Amino acid sequence: MKNVSVLIGGKAGDGINSAGALVAQLLNHIGYNIYLYFDYPSLIRGGHNFAIIRGSEQSIGTCWKTLDFLLALNRETLEQHRDNCSSDTAIIFNADLVKSAGQGIPVKEILTDEHAPAIMGNSAIIGGFAKAAGIEWDVVEGVFKSYIPKGVELNLKVAKRAYNQLETVHPVSKGSRSPCPLLTGNEAIGLGMVNGGLDVYVSYPMTPSSSLLHFLAEQKEKFGIMVVHPENEIAVILMALGLAYTGKRSAVGTSGGGFCLMTEGLSLAGMAELPLTLVVSQRTGPSTGLPTYTGQSDLHFVLHAGQGEYPRLIVAPGDAVEALYWSAVAMNMAWKFQVPAFILSDKTLSEGTYSVDPAAVSDVRGADSPRWAGTAPYFRYADVPSGVSPLAFPGTKDAVIKVNSYAHDEAGITIEDAHTVGQMTEKRLRKGELLTEEMRGYTGVNVSGMHDASTALFCWGSTKGVCNEIAALLGLRVVQPVVLSPFPTEQLKKAIAGVRSLISVEENATAQLAALAERHGIIADEKILRYDGRPFLPDDLLVKVKEMMI
């Protein structure tokens, strides 16, 4: 078996997320690439939580419906996912709560005998899965010792009891690759920003960006950064702008509702020319919407947020490898051009777990704004040909550093005369022209699949993974813009050369990428849209694409 799909489910509080991560590591350590998707309601306890872990010898970024293994900690898991099972699916379950064909584990008895807490019931299920899949015990032991932070010996005892009670019914053959790091999209974004020189991360928790705050807070000493959790999103962006004023590379993270509160601060960044990186991880809206489910409906919001006109960078990575690279680019471009730079993610990417081959991550060239040469007087908004004024920071000798949200002159002094307002507007727009030219040096549009195919799937963000799978099955081209502002029109037209049918695949109701492309003269022939909070699965998308091709 060179592909394997495992679902583990239970209620909130059963540790499904950590259990899914352990199953992913088991498959990682027997030679598979990994993608993990975690599904959970907006509840502290109760509800139905599940993780789908897929292993493949190919690089992957999506899960299929049909399961090889169903691991049920409660009856609801079996009931909700029965349609995902085939006659070959191995079902391993908590025999105290579930009655089913398959292999039951007396979880309560094992926990009582080993004097273990209830949360370790998932270790029993994982041990049973390992035996059912034919995974050697030394692999299980090594994974538990590496990835369980405390109580590992007791967890191993519980897992071993279940391992010894079950039989191997669905052996998983070993893959061909060595274990590699597994990163969530948010972890990759965080590491990318650190690689891009991040000094301070400021955020108020809002799913699906919250785990980025947690990750950077846990690793702040290792990374040599500061992490701050203010009282609300308005405080977040204003604090980050104050830090940028002092010369600190700052970034903020949020989702759509939190970003709503940041938009006035975003315009302040545009007028005051303060560099800022913003992570916006999308979920289903409008308003509170579905707080723990995915979507791609905030592209136009991010593209047009804030009053007035000023340049911005928007990148939308499609997996963890791209997130590592483009997050660093965003940090650098924000500081090179003194503009807001967005990293646009979504729940599927932010909370999904991916195999990351370090060799596949491209190096990022450093970039920064010019520095003031020290010739007094200092003009914070010097009207230089590039539009990018030399920087100085508070404490610099002979420099008065005044930033201003009002219309201002080169020194930062408030003005209202028409000539100077026009002059400063043109200066800011020249930065946008220079940013556009700079981004031509980056591969802002990825092309994969059959490069000469006449039918192409047109996608952005996390839909890259599912589109690549369908393209491989049907012999299609995949065209994925990663840079969305400045829009890479020339690169995109080259990428679709020879395409007779361009099919836009998006997780929103209004085909926002297709609408953006149309403004630049590129027309999608067909649109396949999903907007119920769930990501596209290959099974469903395959049917829809075939219908478009008839």
| pLDDT of amino acid 100 | 86
Q: Kindly state whether residue 111 falls inside one of the protein's structural domains.
A: yes
Query: Do 217 and 78 fall into the same domain?
Result: no
Chain segment 298-332, per-residue pLDDT in tens: 999 999 999 999 999 999 999 999 999 999 999 99
Q: Kindly state whether residue 195 falls inside one of the protein's structural domains.
A: yes
Is the distance from CB of 445 to CB of 495 less than 8 angstroms?
Answer: yes
Quote the Cα angle for 178-183-184, to 5°. 145
Query: Do 197 and 283 fall into the same domain?
Result: yes
Task: Give the number of other Cβ atoms within 10 Å of residue 66's Cβ.
Answer: 13
| pLDDT of amino acid 42 | 84
Q: Kindly state whether residue 436 falls inside one of the protein's structural domains.
A: no
Query: Do 196 and 111 fall into the same domain?
Result: no
Q: Kindly state whether residue 30 falls inside one of the protein's structural domains.
A: yes
Amino acid at 245: Y
**Is 204 in a helix, a strand, or coil?**
coil
Residue with tokens 């201002």: 408
Query: Do 161 and 203 fall into the same domain?
Result: no
Pairing of strands 182-184, 353-355: antiparallel
Mean pLDDT of 191-197: 97
Q: Kindly state whether residue 499 falls inside one of the protein's structural domains.
A: yes
Chain segment 102-143, per-residue pLDDT in tens: 899 999 999 999 999 999 999 999 999 999 999 999 999 999
Cα–Cα distances in Å, from 534 out to 292, 410, 498? 10, 49, 32
Query: Do 517 and 542 fall into the same domain?
Result: yes
Q: Which two tokens stand for residue 169?
A: 């019914």
Q: Which of 325, 360, 395 is the last residue of a domain?
A: 360
Chain segment 81-98, per-residue pLDDT in tens: 999 999 999 999 999 998
Q: Is the pLDDT of residue 1 over 50?
A: no
pLDDT band at 384 (very low <50, low <70, confident <90, very high): very high
Contacts of 88 (CB under 8 A, 6+ apart): 68, 170
Q: Is the pLDDT of residue 462 over 80?
A: yes
Q: Is the pLDDT of residue 20 over 70?
A: yes
Q: Kindly state whether residue 421 falls inside one of the protein's structural domains.
A: no
Mean pLDDT of 424-438: 97
Tally of helices (H runs) and strands (E runs) in the chain: 19, 20
Chain segment 45-68, per-residue pLDDT in tens: 778 999 999 999 999 999 999 999
Query: Do 508 and 543 fall into the same domain?
Result: yes
Domain holding 62: CATH number? 3.40.920.10
Q: Kindly state whether residue 429 falls inside one of the protein's structural domains.
A: no
Cα–Cα distances in Å, from 380 out to 290, 312, 346? 43, 20, 36
Q: Which of 360, 375, 404 is the last residue of a domain?
A: 360
Residue from 25, 34, 30 nearest 55 by CA? 34
Task: Give the number of other Cβ atoms within 10 Å of residue 367's Cβ.
Answer: 17
Query: Do 230 and 148 fall into the same domain?
Result: no
Chain segment 227-256, per-residue pLDDT in tens: 999 999 999 999 999 999 999 999 999 999
CA 533 – CA 358 distance, rounded (Å)? 31
Domain holding 462: CATH number? 3.40.50.920
Query: Do 282 and 161 fall into the same domain?
Result: no
Q: Kindly state whether residue 513 falls inside one of the protein's structural domains.
A: yes
| pLDDT of amino acid 128 | 97
Query: Do 102 and 194 fall into the same domain?
Result: no
* Boundaries of domain holding 494: 445-549
Domain holding 321: CATH number? 3.40.50.970
Contacts of 87 (CB under 8 A, 6+ apart): none
CA 54 – CA 251 distance, rounded (Å)? 32
Query: Do 78 and 187 fall into the same domain?
Result: no
Query: Do 234 and 141 fall into the same domain?
Result: no
How many structural domains compose the chain? 3
Query: Do 138 and 212 fall into the same domain?
Result: no
Say if pTM beats, i.e. exceeds, 0.85. Answer: yes
Q: Which of 360, 386, 411 is the last residue of a domain?
A: 360
CA 525 – CA 522 distance, rounded (Å)? 10
